[in-house]
Amino acid sequence: MNRQTINKSQTISNNPLLKVPASKSISNRLLILNALSGNKLTIKNLSDSEDTLLLESLLEKYAHNERQFNCQNAGTVFRFLTAFLSFQSGIFFLTGNSAMKKRPIHPLVDAIKSIDERIEIIYQEKFGYPPLKIHGTNINKEIKTTIDSSISSQFITALIMAGIRHGITLKIEKEPASLSYIQMTLMLLEKLNIHYQFRDDTIILPSQKIQEQETVVEYDWSSAAPWYVLTSTMHKGFSLLINGLQEKSIQGDKKLSSLFKPLGVQTTYHNDFIKLQKTAHPNIQDLTYDIKDTPDTALYLLTAYAANKIDLTLTGTYHLRFKESDRIEAMQQELSKLGTKLELLSPDSIKLHSPISFETKNNITINSHGDHRIAMAFAPLATLIKNLSISEADTVAKSYPNFWVELKKCGFYT
């Protein structure tokens, strides 16, 4: 894997127009829904992220009667396919890379196995973790089950989508992680005229068919996060433009606009782009956020608040350990290179003790831990650090293939 060393030019470009990709979260949901519908969806603006291309290729393999699927380190792909294949007749093998084999899957497996005794899912290595051998069954009854969603909201989404044709009553145990992603799934279904009820702790979808229609994938709000970090580190008056993002979005990470306000970043909305502008220097010393519903913002908040030398407490962080890397442990290691301490307050909360100064912090290499969001969260700090290097830099292709090209538009060279 490659390494990128980043430096800023003498003058950082003002008002560059940056492109973000289409949402991989929405794209991956639509690919599964299209497969379930018998290819009745015409999907426009599909993401070109590695995760989406991978899911598209694996569904194509399924359509050609292949039965072995390598999901690499794509958690969404593995979880969606686990539910999808469990309700198809046949024997299937699902695996991934070494990082995927550390990501728990047992809550989803337990829920699926409780639906029909004919469905058999066997752990091939460590109990509760990938890889899996799935004896799937084409059931002909309403699905009723209970799911522990405290590790991942994707368990809920996987079951909801797989259960549309049969009808599903899904009771949610424990407080779900990343509620905004569950809401995204439900709002997407609503756009496709799929009816549901969400009452208290139970989601109910009657049996229904996905109708033939065209749908357009939104641009990805999560990919705007590094540009919010960049803007937060800049001088008052700096601004940049991001294509395609809309205020009325089904994505939870549109909350970035409010999360970065205390750092002096103002968001204004236009017809086909948003404008980020540094309007003030922050005058705060310590803040607390609950990021349980928007976990993909966590790493960017940590680097932005470190860059602005502001202490930050984040709660709702437990499930950060089950992402592409153990993001809490990884960020403890990498933030320490900036003179910053990340303290574990509890299993579900962390505190950033900001650095005194970045003035002597040059020639730093950040280990991305093979995690696209770590790479993109640290890259904007090249505004403050000379010769900032990011290892495994091409990992950004997982969600934002053109990230390094877009960064150069801002006046950086690599």
Active site residues: 296
Q: What is the spatial distance between Cα 228 and Cα 217, in angstroms, rounded to a whole number?
A: 22
| Token duo for residue 328 | 């809490």
Can you spell out the DSSP letters for 57-77?
HHHHHHHTT--EEE-TT-HHH
Residue 314's closest CA among 335, 324, 139? 335
Q: Which of the 8 DSSP states describes residue 73?
A: T
For strands 213-216 and 143-148, give the pairing.
Answer: unpaired
DSSP string, 181-244: HHHHHHHHHHHTT---EEETTEEEE-S--PPSEEEEPPB-SGGGHHHHHHHHTS-TT-EEEEES
Find the helix or strand (DSSP H, E) in which 44 lies.
Answer: strand 41-44
Cβ-count burial 255-271 (b if 16+ within 10 Å, e if not):
bbbebbebbbbebeeee
Residue 162 has which token pair? 């797989």
Q: Please say whether the beta carbons of 331 and 371 come within 8 A.
A: no
H-type helices in 64-104, by residue range?
Answer: 75-86
The structure tokens 């958690």 sit at 75
CB 178 within 8 A of CB 293: yes
Q: How far apart are CA 85 and CA 369, in angstroms?
A: 30
> Tokens in use for 410?
């801002």
Residue 98 CB partners (closer than 8 Å, separation 6+): none
Residue 132's beta-bridge partner residues?
94, 123
296: which DSSP letter? G
Percent of the chain as helix, strand, coil, to the nearest 5: 35, 25, 40
Cα–Cα distance measured from residue 297 to residue 21, given in angstroms and rounded to the nearest whole number:
17
Type of residue found at 180: S
Q: Per this entry, what is the length of the chain?
A: 414
